[in-house]
Amino acid sequence: MGVDLRQVVAGILTITMFVMLGQMIHRDYFDPSQEKFPGEGHDIEFEGSKVAVQEGLVRSVGGSNGPWMEDINNELKPCWEASMSDEAASSKGYVTFSLTNGPEYHVSQITDAVRVANRLGATLVLPDIRGRKPGDERNFEDIYNADKFIRNLEGVVKVVKQLPEEISLRNMAIVKVPARVSEDYIKENIIPVFKSKGNIRVATYFPSVNMRKSSQDGETDPVACLAMFGSLELQPEMNKVVDSMVERLKTLSRKSGGRFIAIDLRVDILEKKNCHETAVAGSKSCYDAQEIALFLRKVGFNTDTTIYLTQPRWDSSLNILKDIFPKTYTKETIMPADKKSKYLESKDSEYEKVIDFYISSRSDVFVPAISGLFYANTVGKRIALGKPQVLVPAEITGTSALATDFVSPYISKKNHLAYSCFCPI
């Protein structure tokens, strides 16, 4: 007779809960000597270091519904004031670019293009949006609010919707730009080409995916901050879809006070990534459904907790998570029925990625089961929105642990780039 893995795990959890009750009576929640704390990391690894939660940042609300966190002193305000350079007023050149690979990349691509155009004093052309497949292209306005984008950058970079007819994209010099392009790089590698050609096409590449502050980020870069956190907004229809899905999740979370968890867990990526132990002791680059379920239970989330997954369609490998947390949903079950034909059945993953990014940014708790740029830029967006509750998963060897011990180092150490752009009120 075969063994049902879900029954085995359910049995283990039952035993674990009894042990937890005994431990809670003695106020002994976990064994500190056995903790593992992966966080954000270089390229695709979580950082293998213990998270030291700063006093006054977050605290656990706890209670019977789980260890939900309450924001403390999280009210931030933009601390940048960008203005147009003297060169910008007299420029006649153009900078073009495309958005690719999903919203987490769009944020960085927009930021670099705006920085380059501002430094050159060039006019920025509204980008198109390209998917992974050849011919998969759409207009900027299909996803983002073009008019607001232009207005938001007014006075910093001039933006036009199209190139003049007399200028051809084919004749433009292509300049490769590393993400978070530096002033020195622009001066040495881009300005000479722009002066020679008059118009350029910027293509951002990503030598690393972490968004930690560096020594160069000691002072606020107002142009980069405005581009990253103050320029992009969803176009009205997409924004309404995201709003309706967030409200649906809140309605399903009545027993948890309307709070829900968003988990970036995509089966196709889990199958491609190396999820084994890495060079950093106890560190992993991704966690599967069973590992996430055990992590959430051990840090104290109730089985009635509502969970949103970024997985496009339900996969049988997720059944173990739903067995433990029955209120686990993907887009197909919470999207308004009249929007599914456009956003789900068109086989256009670009729409779905955008929905995932904005729901993950607005959830009460975000758990990145996969390390990478989605994690890094979602954290940045959450910091900007005053939602610092990001829990980085780990394999907890004991029976339980404190959720606050797994707050992302981006948050607990305040070392995310976003903290260069936002200041306490």
Give residue 216's pLDDT band: very low, low, confident or very high (50, 70, 90). Answer: low
Model pTM? 0.82
- Give the 3-state secondary structure percentages of the chain, helix then strand then coil, rounded to 5: 40, 15, 40
Q: 320 or 19, which is more confident?
A: 320
**pLDDT digit string, tens, across residues 119-174:** 999 999 999 998 777 777 889 999 999 999 999 999 899 999 999 988 888 888 99
Beta carbons of 265 and 370 less than 8 angstroms apart:
yes
What residues pair up with 205 in beta bridges, in sequence order?
178
d(C-alpha 73, C-alpha 189), whole Å: 42
E strand segments, 142-231: 159-160, 173-178, 199-205
d(C-alpha 186, C-alpha 304), whole Å: 52
Which tokens go with 23?
A: 């431990």
E strand segments, 164-214: 173-178, 199-205
d(C-alpha 215, C-alpha 207), whole Å: 18
- Over range 73-87, report the average pLDDT: 68
User: pLDDT at position 326, please?
Assistant: 96
Sign of CA dihedral 249, 393, 398, 55: negative
d(C-alpha 300, C-alpha 17), whole Å: 10
Beta carbons of 189 and 178 less than 8 angstroms apart:
no
Domain 5-75+235-424 has CATH 3.40.50.11350: yes
Give residue 283's pLDDT band: very low, low, confident or very high (50, 70, 90). Answer: low
E strand segments, 23-89: 58-60, 69-71, 76-78
Residue type, 227: A
**pLDDT digit string, tens, across residues 320-374:** 999 999 999 999 999 999 999 888 876 667 899 999 999 999 999 999 999 889 9
User: pLDDT at position 273, please?
Assistant: 56
User: pLDDT at position 268, please?
Assistant: 83
Domain locations in the chain as residue ranges: 5-75+235-424, 87-229
Q: Per residue, what are the HEC states of 96-107? A: ECEEECCHHHHH
**pLDDT digit string, tens, across residues 165-213:** 888 888 889 999 999 999 999 999 999 999 999 899 999 999 877 788 7
Beta carbons of 367 and 296 less than 8 angstroms apart:
yes
Which tokens go with 273?
A: 């990534």
